[in-house]
Amino acid sequence: MELVALQLNASDHWPVNQAKIAALLERLPASRPLLVQLPENAVVFGNRQAVQAVAEPLGNGPVQDCLAQWARQYGIWLVVGSMPTQTEQSDKLHTSCLVFNDKGERVACYHKLHLFDVDVADGHGRYRESDTFSPGHELCVVDSPFGRLGLSVCYDLRFPELYRALREQGADILLVPAAFTRVTGKAHWLPLLQARAIENQCYVLAAAQVGEHAGGRQTWGHSVILDPWGDIQACLPNGEGLIVAPLEQHRLDSIRRQMPVAQHARLRAVWRDNE
């Protein structure tokens, strides 16, 4: 079993991004099974108008049909880091991470919990995801041939309690598709990912956007695959491409057996005692 992260420089036009993803999928290793992850905003990376133009109802639309077809065609589990999906609020969307199995069936959907409303010292400056998106309200852990997958998206990475909750629900692999800014990525991307891997004793699969985008956006790249000890198994600092690393169940089991931190955690017991 192998983990794969695709690194993209996505635009605000789905046909352009579609062609880029298709070309990278042609470069997948021949071995199966493969868990393949696309970064956040893989379908469209642009302003409100560009995102709304591509948004689809969950489970229905040509973009989702294409994604499902890729999963079937290549016989892969495909994690679409995020695409915009419509909500009951006509003026707001969800940033949705979708998981398709190797038959092209959608087996999971996670709506990004934490929205990136911050100011960054870069060419874009002001980020307000809440102008376009509504936050999700549920965790998502899904069974797969690779183990249990814990879903998250980008800014979620700064909230360790989310990943502890995913681990408590049995996650073995933490999925962190992202479009980290160049400024915040240089400072915090790898340390945060390694912390999530180490403290939860999980593999981390983190596909990223890279380079210059519409509207002055600059993303950090450095897609990475980490093992449950926090060691880098593969990394792509710059440019579009893909990285591959083996999933070693015996290493996951060994680390958790030798240092059973999940069994040692006592904060919930302390909180109950103090109620």
Kindly report the average pLDDT of the chain as a whole number: 93
Instruction: Let me know if 20 is a catalytic residue.
Output: no
For the chain, the DSSP string reads -EEEEEEB---S-HHHHHHHHHHHHTT--S-S-EEEEPPTTSS--S-HHHHHHH-B-TT-SHHHHHHHHHHHHHT-EEEEEEEEEE-SSTT-EEEEEEEE-TTS-EEEEEE-SS--EEE-SSSS-EEEGGGTB-------EE--TTSPEEE--GGGGG-HHHHHHHHHTT-SEEE--B--BHHHIIIIIHHHHHHHHHHHT-EEEE-BBEEE-GGG-EEE--EEEE-TTS-EEEEE-SSSEEEEEE--HHHHHHHHHHS-HHHH--HHHHHHHT-
Sign of CA dihedral 93, 95, 97, 100: positive
pLDDT beyond 60 at 169: yes
Region 107-121: mean pLDDT is 87
In the set 140, 154, 202, 240, the catalytic residue is 154
Instruction: Specify the pLDDT at position 234.
Output: 98
Region 114-125: mean pLDDT is 72
For residue range 19-36, list pLDDT tens digits in order: 999 999 999 999 999 999
Q: For residues 118 and 127, what is the distance between their CA atoms, to the nearest angstrom?
A: 5
Instruction: Let me know if 112 is a catalytic residue.
Output: yes
For residue range 172-209, list pLDDT tens digits in order: 999 999 999 999 999 999 999 999 999 999 999 999 99
pLDDT beyond 90 at 127: no
How far from 146 is each of 33, 40, 134, 206, 244, CA to CA, in Å? Answer: 8, 21, 30, 16, 14
Backbone φ, ψ for residue 8 (5° rounding): -125, 155
Exposed / middle / buried, residue 26 (Cβ in 10 Å: 0-12, 13-18, 19+): exposed
Poorest-confidence range of 48-62, 107-121, 237-251?
107-121
Q: For residues 30 and 191, what is the distance between their CA atoms, to the nearest angstrom?
A: 32
Instruction: Specify the pLDDT at position 58.
Output: 95
In the set 40, 56, 129, 240, the catalytic residue is 40
How far from 188 is each of 146, 217, 243, CA to CA, in Å? Answer: 28, 18, 21
For residue range 53-108, list pLDDT tens digits in order: 999 999 999 999 999 999 999 999 999 999 999 987 668 999 999 999 999 999 99
Positions of E strands within 145-260: 149-151, 173-175, 203-206, 210-212, 218-220, 223-226, 232-236, 241-246
- Spell out the domains of the chain, with CATH numbers in brackets: 2-273 (3.60.110.10)
Q: Binning pLDDT at 50, 70 and 90, where does residue 130 land?
A: confident
Tokens of 191: 């340390």
Instruction: Let me know if 2 is a catalytic residue.
Output: no
pLDDT beyond 80 at 268: no
In the set 2, 97, 109, 112, the catalytic residue is 112
